Amino acid sequence: MRSPVRVGVVGCGVISRHYAENARAFDEFDIVACADLDARRGEALALEHGYAAVSVDELVGDPTIEIVLNLTPPNAHVAVIKAALAAGKHVYTEKPIATTSREGASLVEKAARLGLRIGCAPDIFLGGAYQAARGLIDEGAIGEPLSASAAMLLGGQTTWHPDPDIFFADGAGPLLDMGPYYLTALVALLGPVRAVTGFASTWIDERTIEVGPRAGETFRSSTPTHTTAALELTGGVTAALVASFEAPSQYVCDVRIYGSDGVLELPDPNSFGGTVRLRRGRGGWEDVSYATRGARESRGLGLAEMVDAIATGRPHRASGELGEHVVAAARAILEAAAKGKTVTIGDLPAQPAAMPVPVDAEAAPG
């Protein structure tokens, strides 16, 4: 049995708690240290989970840490990844890998040149629900895939995040913050995005922070907060995507795959688990039972899969290439909306290989 890989966390905000709590389910890695520009955040996470609290420079420079887990805000992702690669470390980063496709591609190229890996969230598509859907599609349960629809409508982060304005800045917004869950799911199930067109707007001009020390502050979005796009995937499958922060009384997270012989209805691609439903022909809906990995169906699965891929010398699935492609697709939608045209995307990655859940794993209700 291999020794766990030593991991250091950079960025100790809200999402770091999820990774820290989930880490006990994975024997592929140990989180041993954490760092944040706000030393108080780093010290709090370290105290809670028994990590060493260090500075960012100390963590990146520590020769015993093999992978940097980058959980910083999106506008800091590139700088942290560059520093980690320069220090000879692999990186697993929260989405998006970068705020522009050009920066993302540059990071992927640099990692390849150095013989290092970049992994990129989201990894929910590796979970039992979406892998069951991938298996059904591949075996022809819905016939030939023809189209897909995905819709994400909610009100944004003002009600639960202490610094929600970062999600309304260029490089975030619904397309680059939440959109990666939906775009990644579509690519993982059906293949990469070849071309897009779309529309974008902002309905709510001013927002108010509702929680935390900045409660009562107002801010304005610097990126569109409601987008609708049409996508053409390789192989000719088409998809419609709605991504919006303009629906404060809702949490819509719909994904459907339409085929020549049936339809698949999938759960929220921002959460592991959920119900998978299949309709064959003109029949009724049936729940699909599927296997799960239990506690390993959580954020951290993509990192663990990357650790195993490094050890065995194979490509990892939640890759930097996939993360960069998702950014390229999101940026292409915004460009198409701004210029009123169809935008073609080049340098398409391979569709991630299927990752079936072992047959002796736990059964999810179906």
Task: Please check whether residue 366 lies inside any domain of the structure.
Answer: no
| Pair 45, 99 in one domain | yes
Split at pLDDT 50, 70, 90, the class of 156 is confident
Task: Please check whether residue 363 lies inside any domain of the structure.
Answer: no
Give 103-152 pLDDT, tens digit per residue: 999 999 999 999 999 999 999 999 999 999 999 999 999 999 999 999 99
* pLDDT of amino acid 205: 86
Task: Please check whether residue 63 lies inside any domain of the structure.
Answer: yes
* pLDDT of amino acid 359: 60
Give 58-69 pLDDT, tens digit per residue: 999 999 999 999
Number of domains in the chain: 2
Task: Please check whether residue 352 lies inside any domain of the structure.
Answer: no
DSSP 125-139: GGSHHHHHHHHHHHT
DSSP 39-58: HHHHHHHHHHHTPEE--HHH
| Pair 272, 304 in one domain | no
Report the alpha-carbon distance of residue 240 to residue 205 in Å, rounded. 26
| 232: containing domain | 124-293+325-344
**Which three-class secondary structure state does DSSP give residue 243?**
strand
Give 115-124 pLDDT, tens digit per residue: 999 999 999 9
| Pair 131, 271 in one domain | yes
Kindly report the average pLDDT of the chain as a whole number.
Answer: 95
| Pair 140, 286 in one domain | yes
Task: Please check whether residue 335 lies inside any domain of the structure.
Answer: yes
Task: Please check whether residue 353 lies inside any domain of the structure.
Answer: no
* pLDDT of amino acid 366: 52
| Pair 108, 133 in one domain | no
| Pair 183, 267 in one domain | yes
| Pair 21, 128 in one domain | no
Please state the rounded mean pLDDT for residues 83-97.
98
Q: Which residue has the higher pLDDT, 26 or 361?
A: 26
The model's pTM: 0.94
Give 181-210 pLDDT, tens digit per residue: 999 999 999 999 999 999 999 999 899 999
> Whose structure tokens read 């960025």?
11
| Pair 129, 250 in one domain | yes
* pLDDT of amino acid 364: 62
Interior/surface letters 232-244, b for 16+ CB within 10 angstroms, e for the rest:
bbeeebbbebbbb
CATH number, domain at 16? 3.40.50.720
Give 238-274 pLDDT, tens digit per residue: 999 999 999 999 999 999 999 999 999 999 999 999 9
| Pair 63, 148 in one domain | no
| Pair 184, 219 in one domain | yes
* pLDDT of amino acid 358: 80
* pLDDT of amino acid 165: 93
Task: Please check whether residue 358 lies inside any domain of the structure.
Answer: no
Q: By C-alpha distance, which of 326, 316, 256, 273 is closest to 132?
A: 273
| Pair 163, 220 in one domain | yes
CATH number, domain at 136? 3.30.360.10
* pLDDT of amino acid 2: 81
Task: Please check whether residue 357 lies inside any domain of the structure.
Answer: no
Handedness of CA 196, 316, 122, 98 (dihedral sign): negative
| Pair 333, 230 in one domain | yes
